[in-house]
């Protein structure tokens, strides 16, 4: 099943996973990020605040969770959606490398493997054991609102399906997989945004409309995310149609 990693690579950097991680300080064990007081979580927050120029701890936390959910576990969602297999992205099997820029330089697996399994197991590995505990740790550490943090989780998960739809993934398959995943996830994540299907000319794609804000507009870049709820739905849909039209 190792061929699945090559096929994920073909969908772009968002889904790329490094293997055989060498020991060293460059890689941060993701299981350490679930401890609100860990130096590893401090490193991640400090790196993002420096890179994006965020103005507060809670805004930095909201940015971190959205970027993290949109990069670190997305390969597992796409592998399940398109290949029907599960990649182990439980925190103890995943490590990240920080970047000087907004986001992460790399994501790696200690043991890269894929197995058959249920959507319930996928939900457990991605959400219950990884992203939701991380959101909880960020809540304790920074006092960021849990609904906003969970909004970042929901947005990041949706990005796994939406980005792939623009890179050759079957839109029907990806849309159905997203709804199966969200139904299994429960916990109200499905109410934190809406995945929409848009056609422009001969192209179709999946895009996300957030109901929460990650406060990235308070960073030094002072820009709204494409999915930001501070923009009207009409403006966001027009922006997404433009993306399809230019592709």
Task: For the chain, give every domain's residue range.
Answer: 3-246
CB atoms within 10 A of CB 126: 28
Question: Residue 57's pLDDT is what?
Answer: 92
Residue 109's DSSP bridge partners are 19, 94
Rounded Cα distance between 13 and 75, Å, is 10
CB contact set of 73 (below 8 Å; sequence gap of 6+): 89, 94, 126, 130, 131, 156, 157, 160
The token pair that represents 176 in the structure block? 């159905």
Q: Note the pLDDT of residue 192.
A: 95
Per the confidence metrics, is the pTM higher than 0.75?
yes
The pLDDT value given to residue 95: 96
| pLDDT value of residue 53 | 83
Q: Give the residue among 6, 141, 130 at the shortest CA–CA distance from 68.
A: 130
**Nearest alpha-carbon partner for 216 in 74, 59, 51:** 59
pLDDT at residue 1 is higher than 60: no
* Mean pLDDT score, 170-197: 96
Confidence (pLDDT) at 42: 97
Adjacent-strand bridge partners of 29: 95
pLDDT of amino acid 2: 59
Among the ranges given (41-55, 130-144, 163-177), the one the predictor scored with the smallest mean pLDDT:
41-55
Q: Which residue has the higher pLDDT, 168 or 223?
A: 168
- Radius of gyration of the chain from its Cα atoms, rounded to whole angstroms: 17
Residue 88 has pLDDT above 80, yes or no: yes
Q: Report the pLDDT averaged over residues 19-26.
A: 76
Q: Give yes or no for residue 140 having a pLDDT over 60.
A: yes
Q: Render pLDDT for 24-70 as a digit per residue (tens, 0 to 9).
A: 668 999 999 999 999 999 999 999 988 888 889 988 999 999 999 99
Share of residues in the chain with pLDDT > 70 (%): 96
Predicted local distance difference test score (pLDDT) of residue 220: 66
Rounded CA gap, 98 and 121, in Å?
28
**How many angstroms separate the CA atoms of 162 and 60, rounded?**
24
- Of 18-22, 37-41, 215-219, 229-233, where does mean pLDDT reach its minimum? 215-219
pLDDT of residue 30: 97
Cα–Cα distance measured from residue 171 to residue 135, given in angstroms and rounded to the nearest whole number: 29
Task: Report the pLDDT averaged over residues 97-106.
Answer: 87
Pick the residue with more confidence: 33 or 214? 33
């Amino acid at each position: 099943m190792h061929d699945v990693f090559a096929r994920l690579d073909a969908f772009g950097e968002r889904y790329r996973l490094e293997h055989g991680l060498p020991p060293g300080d460059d890689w941060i064990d993701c299981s350490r990020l679930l401890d609100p007081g860990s130096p590893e979580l401090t490193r991640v927050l400090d790196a993002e605040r420096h890179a994006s120029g965020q103005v507060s701890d809670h805004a930095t936390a909201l940015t971190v969770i959205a970027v993290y959910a949109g990069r670190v576990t997305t390969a597992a969602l796409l592998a399940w959606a398109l290949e029907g297999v599960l990649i182990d992205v439980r925190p103890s099997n995943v490590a990240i490398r920080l970047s000087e820029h907004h986001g992460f330089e790399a994501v790696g697996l200690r043991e890269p493997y894929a197995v058959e399994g249920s959507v319930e197991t996928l939900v457990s590995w991605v959400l219950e054991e990884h992203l939701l505990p991380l959101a909880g740790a960020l809540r304790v550490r920074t006092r960021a609102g849990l609904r906003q943090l969970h909004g970042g989780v929901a947005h990041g998960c949706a990005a796994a399906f939406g980005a792939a739809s623009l890179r050759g993934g079957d839109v029907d398959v990806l849309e159905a997989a997203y709804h199966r995943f969200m139904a299994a996830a429960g916990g109200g994540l499905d109410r934190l945004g809406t995945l929409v299907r848009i056609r422009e000319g001969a192209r179709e794609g999946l895009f996300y409309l957030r109901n929460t804000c990650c406060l990235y507009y308070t960073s030094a870049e002072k820009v709204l995310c494409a999915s930001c709820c501070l923009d009207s739905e009409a403006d966001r849909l027009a922006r997404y149609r433009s993306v399809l039209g230019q592709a």
